[in-house]
Amino acid sequence: MPRILVVAPNWIGDALMAQPLLARLREKLPDLRIDVLAPAWVAPVLRRMPEVGEVIETAFRHGALELRARWRLGRGLRARHYDQALVLPNSWKSALPPFFADIPLRSGYVGESRFGLLNLVYRSKDPGASMALHYAQLSEKPGKAPREPLPQTGLNVDAAIAEATAQRFGLAGRYAVLCPGAEYGPAKRWPGFAELAGRLRLPVVLLGSVKDRATCAGIGGRNLAGETTLEEAIELIACADFVVSNDSGLMHVAAAVGTPQVALFGSSSPVHTPPLSERARVVWLGLDCSPCYARECPLGHLRCLREIPVERVLEEIGRLGNSGAE
Give the three-class secondary structure for 282.
strand
Give residues with Cβ within 8 angstroms of 274, minimum separation 6: 130, 132, 263, 280, 282
The answer to whether residue 303 sits within a structural domain is yes
Q: Are residues 167 and 263 in the same domain?
A: yes
In order along its 326 residues, the chain shows pLDDT tens digits of 899 999 999 999 999 999 999 999 999 999 999 999 999 999 999 999 999 999 999 998 877 889 999 999 999 999 999 999 999 999 999 999 999 999 999 999 998 889 999 999 999 888 788 999 999 999 999 999 999 999 999 999 999 999 999 999 999 899 999 999 998 999 999 999 999 999 999 999 999 999 999 999 989 999 999 999 999 999 999 999 999 999 999 999 999 999 999 999 999 999 999 999 999 999 999 999 999 999 999 999 999 999 999 999 999 999 998 766 66
The answer to whether 100 touches 80, Cβ cutoff 8 Å, is no
pLDDT at position 326:
62
The answer to whether residue 101 sits within a structural domain is yes
The answer to whether residue 258 sits within a structural domain is yes
Give the three-class secondary structure for 15.
helix
Domain total in the chain: 2
The answer to whether residue 293 sits within a structural domain is yes
Q: Which of 109, 139, 169 is the last residue of a domain?
A: 139
User: Measured between alpha carbons, how far is 86 from 152 in angstroms, rounded to an integer?
Assistant: 20
Q: Are residues 177 and 281 in the same domain?
A: yes
pTM above 0.85, yes or no: yes
The DSSP line for 166-207 is: HHHTT--S--EEEE---TT-GGG--TTHHHHHHT-SS-EEE-
Q: Are residues 302 and 180 in the same domain?
A: yes
Q: Are residues 263 and 129 in the same domain?
A: no
Q: Are residues 109 and 166 in the same domain?
A: no
Return the CATH number at 280. 3.40.50.2000
The answer to whether residue 42 sits within a structural domain is yes
The answer to whether residue 144 sits within a structural domain is no
pLDDT at position 162:
98
The answer to whether 66 touches 36, Cβ cutoff 8 Å, is no
The answer to whether residue 324 sits within a structural domain is no
User: Measured between alpha carbons, how far is 24 from 299 in angstroms, rounded to an integer?
Assistant: 41
Q: Are residues 168 and 60 in the same domain?
A: no
The answer to whether 215 touches 281, Cβ cutoff 8 Å, is no
The answer to whether residue 124 sits within a structural domain is yes
pLDDT at position 127:
79
Domain span at residue 29 reads 3-139
Q: Are residues 124 and 227 in the same domain?
A: no
Q: Are residues 310 and 177 in the same domain?
A: yes
Q: Are residues 130 and 197 in the same domain?
A: no
